[in-house]
Structure 1
Amino acid sequence: MDRERPHDRNARFQGRRIYLTGAASGIGLATARLLAEGGAALALVDLDHAGLERAAAETGGRPFVADLRDGAAIDGSVAAAAAALGGLDGVINCAGVGHGARLETLEPAEWERVLAVNLSAPYRVCRAALPWLQGQADASIVNVASGMALLPTGPGVSAYAASKGGLISFTKALAAELAPQIRANVVCPGLASTPMTAGLLQGHSSGDPPPPFLAQYALKRAADATEVAQAIAFLSSREASYITGVVLAADGGRTFH
């Protein structure tokens, strides 16, 4: 590959085959749209069958329904995706679940559910995809963690922050272990307008004074999902060919200090 030649941004993912979890809505769907616009062939993975079908129709991706708490289902979806796309060049683990409970009310089953989806599933996806990523030019992994992993906001986020903090460390370890063949990076979003945060942002419009939780952000607003997706797409692209092991906070300036 000619590292010095600028790439056509309208075709920057041409020939790329990417496995993307959480693709039915929110940041995952926004990422799928950007990748599809750039010419990527996509394996779209989610538990939301109806949302996944809509995402596939919009982006031309192949839909794969999978429960990310089920390791066998993950292994099967990765193998099926690689077969459908003729291999894999990239993985994006965007799926995640949140939970708010103080330690005294945080049940073990809920702790295990959050870690299963947010940390164990990316491990299982990366492990299953490794045989296809190895030997591919510009192979990449992007895991989506959270600004909560860098700076928890307060009580009630211990399971979520722990799972996303573990994902950061896991990805850094991958970057060292899989180099120079495969790049691995992390994006840490701040609060974004997605179905997961709809209840928190309900009733707030752009002309209103920022609520207290948004006052912590230098930009004083939540992100549009596409703004976070741009960061994920960049780290998945050939434009980031000399970047691995980074933790990119796309969080409106909440954690920069």
Structure 2
Amino acid sequence: MAYVGATAGRLAGRRIVITGASSGIGRATAQLFIAKGAIPILLDLNGAGLAETIGDAEGLSFEVDITDENAVQDVVDQVAEKLGGLDGVVNAAGIMLLGPTADFGFDEWRKTIDVNLTGTFNVAKCCIPFLIKETGSTVVNVSSGAGLLPNAPAQVAYAAAKGGVISLTRALAADLAPEVRVNCVCPGLVDTPMAERFRANVVNYALKRMAEPSEIANAILFLTSKESSYITGSILAVDGGRTFH
């Protein structure tokens, strides 16, 4: 864990919790936010990955299970006390467990829902008491194109969980307005190890390629920044034209 004072930039001094920050979209978002002057609070089960993400930059990092209510609350309380509050959340943590519905085990179903949906709710809920005290605070959830258009086989749990994230976003936006803006990005295939097996599927994308993690991070930056100050409850497809949503 390391912390240094904030630097100037588009997110200067904003204290933002980012989950799933050890790799992929979460890591790209954390590094972009650091470059824009935010004070990131990084959460992930992979402590070594968090250390690689943050390097010698300013911020805090915690090895924590986002489905553990007490553990997340302890971290959030500790961070809010140390930094004097919180300004934002990016829920980027997620897993993808696949299998035909008839063969898909209940343990796999529960884990998929727990991490993707309940974990997203848990982190947001723990942060809300601090977010509502600040001006311009934000929550950005990461869902998936599978939540918008669940048209691929063997993804029933993943699609259900990510669809839940979309509805959760809209419900939170209604519940927390006007103090907190809550929005969601829905990536298509992103060039990360998790998506490697689906690389051939980009034939169905208008742009005919996977996204780079940085492209999703830029969308998250927009929804976190003042430029999106009149946007809440939106579901932004960042999917290369997979859904034309």
Kept after mapping to 2: 8 A contact 1:19/1:81: no
Deviation of the 1:61 alpha carbon? 2.0
CA distance in 2 between counterparts of 1:118 and 1:87 reads 25
**Pairwise mapping of residues 113-152 of structure 1 onto structure 2 (< 5 A)?**
113-152=111-150
- SS of the aligned residue for 1:128 comes to helix
Query: In the alignment, what sits opposite 2:162?
Result: 164
Instruction: Report the Cα distance in structure 1 between the residues aligned to 2:145 and 2:216, rounded to whole angstroms.
Output: 12
**Offset of 1:199 from its aligned partner?**
4.2
Check the 8 A contact 1:234/1:240 in 2, yes or no.
yes
Runs of 4+ in structure 1 over 4 Å off: none
Name the counterpart of 1:37.
Answer: 35
Give the 3 Å change call, closer, same or farther, for CA 253–58 of structure 1 in structure 2. Answer: farther
CA distance in 2, matches of 1:61, 1:194: 24
Q: Could you say what secondary structure the match of 1:124 adopts?
A: helix
SS of the residue 2:154 aligns to? coil
Residues 1-257 of structure 1: pairs in structure 2 closer than 5 A: 11-201=9-199, 211=200, 213-256=201-244
2:31 and 2:54 in contact (8 A); partners too: no
Counterpart of 1:11 in 2: which secondary structure?
coil
Q: Name whichever of 117-126 and 82-91 sits farther off.
A: 82-91
Instruction: Give me the TM-score of the superposition, normalised by structure 1.
Output: 0.89
Q: Is the 1:231–1:250 contact (alpha carbons within 8 Å) kept by the matching residues of 2?
A: yes
One-letter identity of the residue aligned with 1:214: V
Q: Give the TM-score taking structure 2 as reference length.
A: 0.94
| 1:3 alignment counterpart | none
**Secondary structure at 1:60 match in 2:** coil
Equivalents in 2 of 1:194, 1:84: separation in Å?
A: 33
Letter in 2 for 1:168: I
Mark the runs of 5 or more structure 1 residues left unpaired by the alignment. Answer: 1-9, 202-210
1:60 shift after superposition: 2.2
- String of CA shifts for 1:131-178, please: whole Å, max 9, x gaps: 110121100000000000011132200100000100100110111111
Deviation of the 1:99 alpha carbon: 1.1
Residues 59 and 152 of structure 1: is their aligned pair in 2 closer, same or farther, counting only changes over 3 Å? farther
Structure 2 portions without partners, runs of 5+: 1-7
Sequence identity (%): 47
The match for 2:5 is none
The question of whether the paired residues in 2 share the 8 Å contact of 1:17 and 1:90 is answered with yes
Cα displacement string for residues 176-195 of structure 1 (whole angstroms, at most 9, x for unaligned residues):
11111100000000000113
CA distance in 1, matches of 2:211, 2:56: 22
